[in-house]
A = this chain, B = another copy of it.
Amino acid sequence: MAAARRTRMSPDERRQQLVALGVAALADRPLEAVTVEDLAAQAGVSPGLVHYYFGNRQGLHSAIVRTARDAMLHATQPRPELPPRERLRDTLDRFVEFVHDHDATFYSLVRGAASGDEEVRTTVQHARDVLAGHLRDAFQEIGVADGPLLEVALHAWISFAEQALVEAATDPQITASDLADFLERSALGVLAALHPVAQPH
């Protein structure tokens, strides 16, 4: 604390430090319980300074969620040089690793989808749209017909993956590679389910 108090930081560095402390706080408590006062005490600055950077608590929460979202999107950015199936698998491996290492951050994002705060909801919805876009790219390169069911399938599979990651990424009985295998195979199963039904049931 004393060290933090002594540190000279540029406004940008200070802002980043405060947001990083806010993201780290999610390990102990839900976003709604992260306050300007707690964060100020942790950083060794005045609440007034936190208000100066973020406005009110809502502004602070928005900044925390945007940073958490960007960290997740950065960690799960597809590698364009890979062919679509390998790219999907590589992205899923890194997704499982991210949720394993930053489970509280990920849970906050998933919970944020139902937040009473519209800006938090919008931030999380943007992340889902980006992830659905990555999956759409992979599906289209592998081969899939466009149509209204494709969009439904993409969003539904994002919900599927969120639920599986929340439940399994920190389960010691499930290895990271088994979980990534399962997610990969289920995504390809959903892709297959989109193909026009040729065979009888």
For residue A71, CB closer than 8 A to chain B, the reply is no
Which of B167, B184, B197 contacts A156 (CB under 8 A)? B167
Q: Is the CB of B178 within 8 A of A185?
A: no
Q: Which residues 80-105 of A sit at the B interface, judged by CB distance below 8 A?
A: 85, 89
CA distance A182 to B189 in the complex (A): 11
Chain B, residue nearest A183 (CB): B193
Stretch at the interface among A10-18, A56-64, A168-176: A168-176
**B167 touching A163 by the CB < 8 A rule?**
no
Given known pairs A148-B173, A148-B174, A185-B193, the reply for A164 and B168 (CB within 8 Å) is no
| Contacts of A126-169 to chain B: CB distance below 8 A | 148-149, 151-153, 155-164, 167-168
**Proximity string of chain A (92-124) to chain B, C-beta cutoff 8 Å, 1 when within and 0 when not:** 000000000000000000010110000000000
Cα separation A164 to B185 with both chains bound (whole Å) = 19
Q: B residues within 8 A CB of A151?
A: 167
Expressed in whole angstroms, the minimum distance between the Cβ of A167 and any Cβ of chain B is 5
Tell me the chain A residues, 14-64 only, with Cβ under 8 Å from chain B. none
Residues on B with beta carbons closer than 8 Å to the beta carbon of A157: 160
- Which of B111, B158, B194 sits near A114, CB closer than 8 Å? B111
For residue A171, give the distance in angstroms from its CB to the closest CB of chain B.
6
Question: DSSP majority for the A interface?
Answer: helix
Chain B: CB-nearest residue to A184? B201
Nearest residue, chain B, Cβ from A113:
B114
Q: How far in angstroms is the closest Cβ of chain B from A166?
A: 9
Q: In the docked arrangement, what's the CA distance between A163 and B174, Å? A: 25
A113 to chain B, nearest CB (A): 8
What would 15 A/B residue contacts be, using CB atoms closer than 8 Å?
A89-B201, A114-B114, A151-B167, A152-B164, A152-B168, A152-B182, A153-B164, A153-B182, A156-B164, A157-B160, A159-B160, A159-B163, A186-B189, A186-B193, A189-B189
